[in-house]
Structures are given as C-alpha cells and as structure tokens.
Amino acid sequence: MLFAGFPVTDSNVTVFTRWMREENGSDDWFIRNNPLNNGWGSGGGGGLGSYDSLVIAAENAADALHSVGGYGAIVDAFAASAPTEVIEAAIWASPWASGHCANGGHWPYAPVPVVAAPEGTWG
C-alpha cells in the first residue's frame, strides 16, 4: 500500500491480507518473497518468480498495479478505500488472477493468522 500510494485503512488492509492469503498459504505468505504472486519483474511467468526481498516485491507489485493494463479498477478502488467487496470484485475481474479467483469462490474470508516473515526476507 505504501509504494502504491494507497491509504492505510481497515478496508485496504483487509483486502491486501485476504489477497495475500489467496495467492499463498497463510503460513508461508512470504514464499519466494512474492506474497501477491506478481509476475512483473520477478523473472517468473504467472507470478511464480521471486524477488530478492519483500520490499522489492512490494515495489514491483505497486509498479505493476499502476503500469500494467487492466488494473485501473483495482487502483481506483484501493485509492478510494472502497468497501472490501468493491476492491475484491475489481481484483477478480482483472487479469491479475487468470482464474479470477472463481469470482470470489476461492476467496478467503476466514480470519488470517498473523505469521511473521523469516529474518532476512525484508532485505
């Protein structure tokens, strides 16, 4: 959120946390230093690449959201701190997730446990 310039609000934090959980397990959200499975700059297609640190991953995810076509509705929803269902629908409708998260059918709504990334992953 910081690198993308999005406000840190309950709605935005909730969606980012759910999104990270959708993309990776809650116990290993930091896997490959790529919590959103972003392919932009990661060296791996389909989001399967990795970054040298979580900070670089966050920078690249922010850059992808603002630079790659098809993500405008996601950016607008986060920028407005829209209700969670609006932001989530924008993610599902975008090309970020090729399966579109089954239009929410695979989206995690259960509370996500707090799991700290291992030392060294932040760079």
What pLDDT is stored for residue 122 in this prediction? 87
What pLDDT is stored for residue 97 in this prediction? 76
The tally of CA atoms less than 13 A away on the side-chain side of residue 22 is: 26
The secondary structure of residue 81, as a DSSP letter, is: T
Task: Name the residue ranges covered by the structural domains of the chain.
Answer: 10-104
Cβ neighbours for 47, distance < 8 A, ≥ 6 positions apart: 23, 34, 36, 37, 38, 39
For the chain, which residues score pLDDT lower than 70? 45
Q: Are 62 and 10 in contact (CB under 8 A)?
A: no
Here the tokens at position 102 are: 């089954």
Tally DSSP H helices, then E strands, for the chain.
4, 0
